[in-house]
Amino acid sequence: YNLVPSTSELYREAQFYLSLTEAMRSLSLMKVVIDIDGDGQLATDCDVNQNGVPDDVDATGCALLYVANQSCPNNVTYTVGNVTLSGLSYTGLKIRVTGSGQCPNPPSYSDLSGPYYPKLVYIDNTTGTKVLVTTTSETCNDQNGQSWPCPVIENNTPLDMVTAIDNATDEMINALQDALPGVDQDVVNSLNEIKQEACGADGVCTSQDLANYLDNITIQ
């Protein structure tokens, strides 16, 4: 859709479909990071620490807080290890949620210490920036033969979930405006408000913003 020139009769149609594609992309990126098992459903029946937030979400929030150099919530802990996958080095987080609550379907990843939620963090060698990596439901073996969710690689670099969501939502709004120049400003404002709910008033997503947003996802 991006390749359709603005002079083409199909430009507005292409931009409209691009806006829908980017909306689905941003939602999908969030889902694949939270949805540990990749089955398309959030395990809302697991709330071991009884905080009203699904444990899957607690784990993702903890990983985002780790990237932001912040502490994880109560009863959510992690251990750190070096992970190498396909020649790229990561920080592997094994995140555990503890407490007296119930979890009929614990995460499929487990070791001698019990079930855990695996997350991959990539550190840019040039800038030293830490990012939470978007992963798939498939598993990849590290240098020690241990299984981890496979990272999504884009342009030979692990895909940063936060930046990808930020860019996708921006592109969705821009493409919609290009497709429908006369679109009511209320529609654009509503789209921006949706983004601000997750990314703060400035509309720029950070790991801390998304961690706070996830912390408000409660079990219904």
Task: Give the pLDDT confidence score for residue 94 in this predicted structure.
Answer: 97
86 pLDDT tier (thresholds 50, 70, 90): very high
Task: Give the pLDDT confidence score for residue 54 in this predicted structure.
Answer: 86
pTM score: 0.69
The overall average pLDDT reported for the chain is: 76
Residue 216 is assigned to a structural domain of this protein:
no
Task: Give the pLDDT confidence score for residue 118 in this predicted structure.
Answer: 94
Q: According to the per-residue pLDDT averaged within each range, which of 20-29, 110-119, 176-185 is highest?
A: 110-119
For residues 156 and 149, is the Cβ–Cβ distance under 8 A?
Answer: no
For residues 53 and 62, is the Cβ–Cβ distance under 8 A?
Answer: no
Task: Give the pLDDT confidence score for residue 179 in this predicted structure.
Answer: 55
Residues 57, 92, single domain; the answer is: yes
Query: For residue 23, is pLDDT > 70?
Result: no
Residues 97, 201, single domain; the answer is: no
CA distances from 108 to 28, 117, 137 (A): 21, 8, 11
Number of domains in the chain: 2
Of 140, 161, 182, which residue is a domain's last? 161
Residue 3 is assigned to a structural domain of this protein:
no
**pLDDT, tens only, 206-215:** 666 766 666 6
Angle between helices 55-67 and 11-34 (to 10 degrees): 100
Max CA distance (Å), the chain:
62
Residues 56, 128, single domain; the answer is: yes
Owning domain of residue 193: 11-31+162-209
Q: Which residue has the higher pLDDT, 164 or 180?
A: 164
Residues 71, 143, single domain; the answer is: yes
Residue 2 is assigned to a structural domain of this protein:
no
Residue 109 is assigned to a structural domain of this protein:
yes
**DSSP sequence for 166-211:** HHHHHHHHHHHHHH-TT--HHHHHHHHHHHHHHH-TT----HHHHH
Task: Give the pLDDT confidence score for residue 32 in this predicted structure.
Answer: 47
Residues 49, 154, single domain; the answer is: yes
Residues 130, 197, single domain; the answer is: no
Residues 151, 47, single domain; the answer is: yes
Residues 63, 150, single domain; the answer is: yes
Task: Give the pLDDT confidence score for residue 151 in this predicted structure.
Answer: 93
Residues 125, 170, single domain; the answer is: no
